[in-house]
Chains A and B, each alone.
Chain A
């Protein structure tokens, strides 16, 4: 016999009695409850939403009016006939309700006498790995649902790989729909054995298997009489006893990321943040990273008075004994065991955007309150999340996962993800769309970056430019093929040369014959092409030269990357503005004809985009003026700078 579709459990009644008789005692109890965050994952029909609906229902989180609307909905769109369809309670958005599937991460709350819970309901479709990783990133525990009739599916493996990747240690294998396999112990054991094999292969340390029925309520809250052979805990009691992840961060060294510098007046300077790990007390010796400056904690300030001690999870403001530099993005850490600082890492990347990853393209990397520019190398390998095997790959597409090296423009303070997810997990942001395109987990720093030091030279950039009596510049010509970049750049160089200036012209076609002859015309190759040209131009300006480059350079992000390599005012973007129709009609090299015929792939303006500069220092319109006039205008503007 299975229990309770229409009555709440005895435990809920006990809680109710306490509320009625002694509300203060109940509040006291509720106040000290810990909070567990967990995710549920499984394939589309494994019954996740039904299970969560059941937990809400049994823990009395459904009110009568909601229940009435649930009963209504169950009859009109439900899939359980006249019975209550718990899934309807969880699926939120109108469109999803009609489709009968969950398409995003939904968070639900419930509480029992022992604990408060936040459950992330994550979808089971293959294309939504992104949402699952998101839900798992904040979870202490994962419930992986298996349909007892289906057993371990590809989806099960994928979800297990992901929760293990995200570092979730407590994994529950909920073997659901036991009612449909006659509560067979043999079937349950068979599934455990299949799953164990896969769990071992991905390095999952342990898991707890529980036979349940979300629909009938078996082993959810109360032990089921239908599974007398099962001796373990029910799902809810397992959830009530599982350790929360904050608890493992208490014994680590103190770390706090500075979110905000607190300066109400000239006499107070504090640093506000949330303690990421460990504890801190007044008098503790601390170190600020990445600068490495040290001081001593003077006070821990809060609105409720100064504290004698603060621990992981607390939101505080620290003051120091000494006036040392410390700003948003810095990490305050215990002085004797500070975290590492580096600018090159190996990390796992989960790609979350429709547009595929471009190695070499500068993305923004956000880790804690630090935001820096970062470029990614080609993946060392991509992971087949269904088998956990390794695949060779040039890039990462939406929902794919790979291991890559990352280089940041400035040193970043971090810990490896496995030790401290808050200090080792990062997101990548597209500079143009501002979308979050990837999640990353740092493995370790690459020692290479620490071993190559910058060689200080005596004859420096200033000396080189003083000798030539000029200010080094980079004139970056950008525009469509056939716009006249090379022609105009050539004329500009001739004019400057005649003025006695020391110049050099880097031409797109010429560079592709030598330095960049290994590169093709895919987006990734175009990005690398521009990166190399930027680096070469930088060496030339260090030599004191006025450099001109003529490259289509179609993407805003790469032009920005080169701009960022140079000092203020050094990089001058020259937009050679020619409408596509005009450039195509000129077709000096016959390339547009080829591209239109389909003989030339990825041609800018035809089947590859050109992103127009928005804030170019100089813009010349080649329809309105001749190449000669354009060159004169550029020289004139340059001399005026």
Chain B
């Protein structure tokens, strides 16, 4: 992070309010202490995140003494793109397009992201410093070798860099660090009674009144929590009684499904994440 702050012209930290973002932000605070991190936080918003995420977002930026930029793709907003009616277009427009627009609009040349190599196969081959063309595309065949701790950050004018400081962390590392450092996380990671409906094999939470109930659907209170947080209509919950961090970790270690399985987006097509990344998804 210090290397980026020293060498990039205009860095930004992408902040999704999830647990990985929380850890990344905490590390930034440590890296620059007693200064505040010398870059803003940016949330590429879809307007469909959980309410609890919006609440933590403001608080976390304030606590860190950092500027918070919230970007919403105006086109998606105008067209009323939503996950119920528009399927994968929702992710494309709000997230992929929204991110590109935001980076271009503010002229950020380096963006920190909280992706981890253990999340998904194509991420295992991403570098810590990942270069994007002026169109924000990722070319997996044209990556720079990363030797020792020497990161080459030089780039042409319109190119940008995505930087993944917690690339080498595993899910267990993340949870353990949150536990040890007592980091603020969205309460949805911990189990509580919440209104839910079961749809297409996924347990969805009815987070606000925009959730269109199908005929015969009736929200049921269940003890649930989330292993990963995104747009609430796309994020599946798990039934759980884990209310504390050690219980969450215990449950994670004993469970036999992987973290991203709760996300509808990965199941779209084979090698879907890789394709999305080449197009500019973070």
Contacts and interface: CB of A to CB of B under 8 A. Distances in A.
A133 interface: yes
Interface stretch (B42-50, B67-75, B186-194, B246-254): B246-254
A104 B121 CA distance: 13
A302 interface: yes
A116 B152 CA distance: 28
Interface in B140-178: 140-141, 143-150, 152, 154-156, 168, 170, 172, 176
B112 to A, nearest CB: 15
Contacts of A295: none
B274 A65 contact: no
A134 B6 CA distance: 24
Most A C-beta atoms less than 10 A away, residue of B3, B6, B29, B274 = B6
A439 B117 CA distance: 24
Contact of A23 (B147, B246, B255): B246
A24 B121 CA distance: 31
Nearest to B140: A93
Nearest to B143: A104
Contacts of A436: 144-145, 147, 152
A367 B150 contact: yes
Interface stretch (A209-217, A422-430, A621-629): A422-430
A272 B152 contact: no
B246 A27 contact: yes
Given A352-B145, A436-B145, A24 B246 contact: yes
B203 to A, nearest CB: 16
Given A64-B256, A94-B274, A422 B149 contact: yes
B261 A65 contact: yes
A303 B29 contact: yes
B249 A92 contact: no
A303 B63 CA distance: 14
Interface in A327-366: 328, 352, 364, 366
Nearest to A37: B168
Contacts of B121: 92-93
Contacts of B275: 94
Interface string A130-142: 1101100110000
A425 B140 contact: no
Given A259-B2, A264-B35, A367-B150, A434 B168 contact: no
Nearest to B128: A107
Contacts of B156: 434
Contacts of B32: 260, 262, 272
Interface in A457-488: none
B264 interface: no
Interface in A85-108: 92-94, 97, 103-108
Interface in B1-41: 2-3, 5-6, 29-36
Contacts of B125: 92-93, 104-107
A19 interface: yes
A426 B256 CA distance: 43
B30 A302 contact: yes
Contacts of A118: 168
A315 B3 CA distance: 13
A605 interface: no
A260 B176 CA distance: 28
Interface residues of B, number: 53
Contact of A425 (B6, B147, B247): B147
Contacts of A317: 33-34
Contacts of A20: 250, 254
Nearest to B271: A94
B122 interface: yes
Contact of B179 (A27, A263, A274, A328): A27
B147 A111 contact: no
Interface string A8-27: 00000000100110011011
Contacts of B5: 260
Nearest to A260: B2
Contacts of B36: 264
A133 B35 CA distance: 37
Contacts of B247: 23
Nearest to A432: B156
B170 A109 contact: yes
Interface in A515-549: none
Contacts of B147: 133-134, 137-138, 425, 427, 436, 439
Given A64-B256, A66-B258, A111-B172, A421 B148 contact: yes
Interface in A301-342: 301-304, 315, 317, 328
Contact of B33 (A31, A131, A303): A303
Contacts of A19: 250, 253-254
A214 B124 CA distance: 21
Contacts of B124: 92, 106-108
A454 interface: no
A372 B140 CA distance: 29
Contacts of A328: 6
Interface string A486-502: 00000000000000000
Contact of A65 (B168, B176, B257): B257
Contacts of A131: 145
A229 interface: no
Nearest to A262: B35
B160 to A, nearest CB: 13
Contacts of A137: 147-148
Nearest to B154: A434
Interface string A366-378: 1111000000000
Contacts of A563: none
Contacts of A153: none
A272 to B, nearest CB: 6
Contacts of B146: 134
Interface string B114-133: 00011001101100000000
Contacts of B117: 107-109
Contacts of A352: 145
A268 B34 contact: yes
A166 to B, nearest CB: 9
A443 interface: no
A435 interface: yes
B3 A259 contact: yes
Contacts of A23: 246-247, 249-250
Most A C-beta atoms less than 10 A away, residue of B2, B254, B271 = B2
Contact of B3 (A92, A369, A434): A369
A30 interface: yes
A54 B117 CA distance: 19
A27 to B, nearest CB: 6
Nearest to B27: A315
Contacts of A63: 255-258, 261
B182 to A, nearest CB: 11
19 contacts: A16-B253, A23-B249, A24-B246, A31-B180, A93-B140, A94-B274, A105-B125, A106-B124, A107-B124, A109-B118, A131-B145, A133-B147, A134-B145, A138-B148, A272-B31, A303-B30, A425-B148, A427-B147, A439-B145
Top 10 closest pairs, chain A to chain B, by CB:
A94-B271, A63-B258, A303-B33, A434-B154, A264-B35, A259-B2, A23-B250, A134-B145, A64-B256, A92-B121
Interface of B: 2-3, 5-6, 29-36, 117-118, 121-122, 124-125, 140-141, 143-150, 152, 154-156, 168, 170, 172, 176, 179-180, 246-247, 249-250, 253-258, 261, 270-271, 274-275
Given A133-B145, A434-B154, 14 more contacts: A19-B254, A27-B176, A27-B179, A31-B176, A64-B257, A66-B258, A93-B271, A104-B140, A107-B124, A108-B118, A259-B3, A264-B34, A302-B33, A366-B150
